[in-house]
Each structure stands twice: as structure tokens, then as C-alpha cells.
Amino acid sequence: MSTIKITRAIPLPGSILLVVIENQTNGKSDAFLLAMPCEDALLLGYIESLEKTLSWPDDIQSGEGSEDVTFEIDEALFDRTKIWCTDVGISIEQLALAFIRFCACTDNHMALKEWFSPSRILAELNSTLDELQSVRAELLEIKRRFGLDKQEAFLAANANITNASTAKGGI
């Protein structure tokens, strides 16, 4: 019987699955990124069958044959990612290592092509823009409903009067 237990399985865009595993013998956790075979990969039974096929990754040893890897990353993105990793139960280093393992496996090249395809990125960008336009429309409706659209014009007009008075030595 395997000592590996899947503690979390999180589907990511591009048919990639983040799997957090725990070695129940020593209590260590690690993460894998896997190409999902289909959209319904998280159906009942898939995780159980996946648990039987996963093996514990070799421990990474610093020293001969190892490489230091440096990433340049926006500090705010790093902080958000670190918080997300903590919520998931892994370290940011484990996530980075899972990504490197995933990219190194030749079986995942098609998933990587899909992940980094300009059409997928453009589709996500268009989806985000659609959401932002929808939010903007909702905000404009709220401003109109409560008369805030007229308030901005009123404040702008008063700002001009206040500025003119101040320039003439008034107020």
C-alpha cells in the first residue's frame, strides 16, 4: 500500500492539475503539476487511481550536480503567490520545482504549448477585458442610480469656482 496521500488537487488553466501530496511515513509534503487527460479529470475515482501511480520525487540535494536558479519576479506577484502556496499547503519553492519538473518532462510538451499559446493568452486577456467592461458598466449604473454622475460634474464646477476665487484672493 502506498504511503503517498493526495491532500489537494487543484485544476489550473490549460488542463493542468496541481497535486499536493503527503508522504504519510515521514509527514513531508510536495507538489506535482500534471497534464490532465480531460476536463472531467477530477471525477470520482480519478484521484484515487492517481494516488496509486504517483511516486515520491527524489530528494533534492544541494551540492555537486545541483544548480541554483534565480527568478526575477514582481514583488507583489511573489507575495500573492507565496500566500496562495501557504493556503494550498506548499512552499513557493515546491511550486517552482513542480513547474521545473513539469517543463522538463517531454510528455508535457503539448500541455506547455497549450499553456503558453498566444491564442490562450489572448482569450484570457479578452475574457478579463470583458469582465472589466462589465464591472465598469455596473459602476456607471450605480453612479447614475444614486446621482453620483451629476455629483462629479458639480464638484468639477465648484473646483473651478474655488480655484478662481483663490486666485483673486477670495476664500
What's the one-letter identity of residue 149?
D
pLDDT at 83: 93
If phi > 0 it is left, if psi is from -120 to 50 it is alpha, else beta; for residue 45 that is left
Q: Quick one: cell of 137?
A: 458598466
pLDDT tens by residue, 60-115: 544 556 667 777 888 988 899 999 999 988 998 888 888 888 888 888 887 777 77
The C-alpha atoms of residue 32 and residue 124 are separated, in whole angstroms, by: 24
The C-alpha atoms of residue 51 and residue 4 are separated, in whole angstroms, by: 7
Phi and psi, residue 115, nearest 5°: -60, -45
pLDDT tens by residue, 30-49: 888 888 766 555 666 777 77
pLDDT tens by residue, 117-168: 787 778 888 888 888 899 888 988 888 887 777 766 667 766 666 555 555 5
> Given a cut of 50, is residue 1 above it in pLDDT?
no
pLDDT at 168: 59
Share of the chain residues as helix, strand and coil, in percent rounded to the nearest 5: 55, 15, 30
- Strands 29-35 and 4-12, by their bridges, are unpaired
Q: What is the model's pTM?
A: 0.55
> Given a cut of 70, is residue 26 above it in pLDDT?
yes
